Amino acid sequence: MESKSNKKINRGLPTGATPLTSDDLDGLLPKFISTRQELNDAEFKNISEASKKYLLLKKKFPFTSEGLYKIHKEMFGKVWNWAGKKRKTNKNIGVDKAQIEIELKKLIDDYDFWKEQKMDIIEISARLHHRLVYIHPFNNGNGRWARFIVNLFLIEQLNSYLDFPENELILTTKIRINYIQALHEADNLNYEPLINFHKNFLSNFSE
């Protein structure tokens, strides 16, 4: 049976989001957190610190498995003790836990190939975004992590970023519903909706 604290944390979960299990919640570092809003606030603060380090200062990171895990750790490490660590269980979304490392290696190889073939940058960003979400390496925070990685890529390639309305993407809004639909279309190799989603939120990075 789900505990009362679990219910509070998982209450108001947006469409397509992964519920936090009791095991996940055992890794919560700030012990005062008992509601979804308190959790959102704590994660937002942690992500803002990572954004200053990587996005505002344009700090590069190696596109390797180690680099991808490190970014998640930077984003969520003050909130969760499992931040930056591969999930040990299967979720309602994502590849089988035993396939995570294999799929990340495939993605890194594909990413190098896309760049070598001079694929359109926005198409690369959409494909990269989709695959990171599809693999879903972590217990939670996979969508925000994927969007963060995409912005690191776009800042490096175009001096631009995707100005995602994160406050709407963590709720069940029309924008989130369209976003989830675009990711589902990409599951079927139709990347156009996600490419268009990226184009709609592309902004120049101010010096």
Mean pLDDT, 10 residues at a time, the chain of 207 residues: 61 78 93 90 95 81 92 98 96 95 97 96 98 97 95 93 82 86 97 97 81
Confidence at residue 1, expressed as pLDDT on a 0 to 100 scale: 41
Confidence at residue 6, expressed as pLDDT on a 0 to 100 scale: 64
The backbone region for 19, taken as left when phi is positive above 0, alpha when psi lies in -120 to 50, beta otherwise, is beta
Evaluate if pTM is beyond 0.75: yes
In angstroms, the CA 161 to CA 148 distance is: 9
Confidence at residue 7, expressed as pLDDT on a 0 to 100 scale: 60
Q: Could you tell me which of 145, 139, 123, 106 has the C-alpha nearest to residue 189?
A: 123
In angstroms, the CA 169 to CA 176 distance is: 5
The backbone region for 193, taken as left when phi is positive above 0, alpha when psi lies in -120 to 50, beta otherwise, is alpha
In angstroms, the CA 41 to CA 50 distance is: 14
Tokens 């660590």, residue? Answer: 85
Query: What is the radius of gyration, based on Cα positions, of the chain?
Result: 17
Domain ranges in the chain are: 4-204
Query: Long-range CB contacts (< 8 A, 24+ apart) of 47-56?
Result: 47/75, 47/76, 47/144, 47/148, 49/74, 49/78, 50/74, 50/75, 50/148, 51/148, 54/148, 54/152, 55/148, 55/151, 55/152, 55/155, 55/161
The stretches of 52-165 forming alpha helices (DSSP H) are 65-76, 100-116, 121-135, 142-158
Q: What is the CATH number of domain 4-204?
A: 1.10.3290.10
Q: Could you tell me which of 171, 178, 127, 180 has the C-alpha nearest to residue 149?
A: 127
